Amino acid sequence: MIRFEAVHKSYGRHEVLKGIDAEVGRGQVVCLIGPSGSGKSTLLRCVNGLETYQAGRITVDGVPVDAAAPTIHGLRTRVSMVFQRFNLFPHRSAIENVMEGPIHVLREKPAEVRARAEALLAQVGLADKIDAAPAALSGGQQQRVAIARALAMRPDAILFDEPTSALDPEMVGEVLQVMRTLADQHMTMLVVTHEIQFAREVADAVLFLDGGRIVEQGPADAVLRNPTHERTQDFLRRVT
């Protein structure tokens, strides 16, 4: 579904991704872990064209990602992104946030979109909050609205960039639970996270990124329980 082939990315002279080879199969959950500054967000942002890359190739469903091509808009509707800081429209209610993309980007009929948005908010446990303003919701609730908003686009894949890192600890579980349900429904997901327990339970594969290189990748169990590289071992000691 998502394939990285020798992807290189620099900001000016600073090379941030130094040849990334990896893939996320359809219906798979792949967790991307690694220290701060290792290039995790940059890698995600390259997938839906929020950043350009200079060499190599990223394909989604076989189609190369080219941030400068007109096809990038279509690609962004098929690959949704969930950010660390939910990025909801502050002056719109929960359901209006969820309806925004399908109405304005996909140009679907408001009545149909509304029914779907209600169902999605119910799916993330917010049936009673559809008219709430983001400011009236907890961080965990706002992130669940953001996930419903991503799902409203009927994406083929969702990219998550540290979706629980900005949350108070007691709200982490409710968001991870929603993500677990999506995994059970075989949503294709690439997830940057420091939640090692989540990765262990849910991920089909784990990628460990360090200094712009994937130093270790494989089945979650192998990478997280028996990492072969010292850098992975160090990192896991620090976050678990």
Q: Residues interacting with Mg ion, by CB under 5 A?
A: 40-41
Number of residues that bind ligand ADP (CB under 6 A): 10
Give the residue, chosen from 1, 31, 40, 158, that forms a contact with ligand ADP under the rule CB under 6 A. Answer: 40
38 binds, among Mg ion, ligand ADP, none (CB under 5 to 8 A by kind): ligand ADP
Per CB under 6 A, 64 contacts ligand ADP: no
Least gap, CB of 121 to Mg ion (angstroms): 27
Q: Is 36 in the site for ligand ADP (CB under 6 A)?
A: yes
143 binds ligand ADP (CB under 6 A): no
Residue number with CB closer to ligand ADP (77 or 84): 84
> What residues contact 216, with CB distance under 8 A and at least 6 apart?
206, 207, 208, 223, 227, 228, 229, 232
**Position 194 contacts ligand ADP (CB under 6 A):** no
Contact criterion met (CB below 8 Å) for 22 and 217: yes
- Report the C-alpha gap between 105 and 191 in whole angstroms: 24
| Amino acid in the structure at residue 25 | G
CB of 132 to ligand ADP, least distance (A): 30
Which among 162, 225, 212 is positioned nearest to 31, based on CA atoms?
A: 162
Tell me the HSE value of 162 on the side-chain side, using a 13 A CA sphere: 15
